[in-house]
Amino acid sequence: MKSYLGFLFILASFSCFASDDILSPTKKGLYDVGGFKLYLECYENDKPKLILEQGFTRAGSDGAWMDNVKRLNKTFSICLYDRSGLGKSEKGPVPVTVFDTANWLHELLNVADVKPPYYFAGGSYAAYIIRAYNNIYTSDVLGVVLIDPAVYGYFHTMATRWPDGFETNNKDLRDMMELELSVKDPMFKGIPEKVDHLKSYELIKSSKTFGSKPLIVLFSQTSKGYINQTPRYDEAYFPDSIAKPMTELWASAINSFKALSSDTKIIYSQSKKHHLHIADPDLVVSNIESLVSGN
């Protein structure tokens, strides 16, 4: 659980990796998507287009992807952006659903003249945005790499597994309950990204699959442990009755992702870290490249 609560509720700071190779964007700036502006940064060429989506509360402009962009730019024309209220983007209407975010991304690419179709890749919560985009703009999506994704239903399970009136003398358990129940409040002050996770879950649950498009899912060793229940996701102080919904969600993760495409590959990193584009860049880059190489 430790790594996932970190990516959900703590704003980790990333350092840009120094490099002698300078890659300049072909376009960057703020683009109006309907009353507010989103920041977009592209490294364009004549190769297939790749959109890099970010994890929860993360901004594409933070530089964490830059070393990978330099490598991938030999194979792809690449764009990154900042979602509403994050990084260099302006704040739009709140709260938002994943469908709102997908629609704003579509408008951003349109006004910036980044024409479809696209390949998508992204870590963690990016899985939600990419799935939503595929549901609404199905023909725009060619293939996807999900990098240590948040399991669909993760936020919903956090918010709904606590019985009404539940009480405990265990401070750690009580703190976890309060933290997880905050998911019900999209305007929770501690989080800069104001997402209605429960409504988004209902939208995602009924969304289209990726059909026969290539779908590659990369898991960390930590996620592999949760999937295999070695250890289970929750700490030992969680009562089994409360841990059960999350345990079952993780246990079903592989089958759930395989059901999203008839061309699904599940691959495990040797790294335990969540942000595999930093911890295991060779694995991430090679699998994104395989979307077009077929290897």
pLDDT over 60 (residue 144): yes
In what helix (H) or strand (E) does residue 38 lie, and over which residues does it extend? Answer: strand 37-43
- What lies within 8 Å, CB to CB, of 245 at 6+ separation is 157, 160, 161
Buried b (16+ CB within 10 A) or exposed e, 232-267: bbbeeebeeebbebbbebbbebbeebeebbeebeee
Report the Cα 195 to chain-centroid distance in Å.
Answer: 13
> Are the C-beta atoms of 141 and 210 separated by less than 8 Å?
yes
Q: 247 with 97: CB under 8 angstroms?
A: no
pLDDT digits (tens, 9 = 90+) for 171-223: 999 999 999 999 999 999 989 999 999 999 999 999 999 999 999 999 999 99
Radius of gyration of the chain (CA): 19
Q: Could you tell me the sign of the dihedral formed by the alpha carbons of 19, 22, 28, 29, in that order?
A: positive
DSSP string for residues in 249-262: HHHTHHHHHHTT-S
Instruction: Copy the structure tokens of residue 189.
Output: 């002050």
d(CA 285, CA 60): 17
Percent of the chain with pLDDT over 90: 91
**Domains of the chain, start order:** 2-6+25-293 (3.40.50.1820)
Question: Considering only CA atoms, which of 130, 147, 149 is closest in space to residue 283?
Answer: 147
- Say whether pLDDT at 7 is over 50: no
Rounded CA separation 262/278 (Å)? 29
Instruction: Calculate mean pLDDT across residues 31-50.
Output: 98
3 state SS of 50? strand
The DSSP bridge partners found for residue 119 are 50, 143
Which of 9-13, 31-35, 223-227, 288-292 is predicted with the least confidence, judged by mean pLDDT?
Answer: 9-13
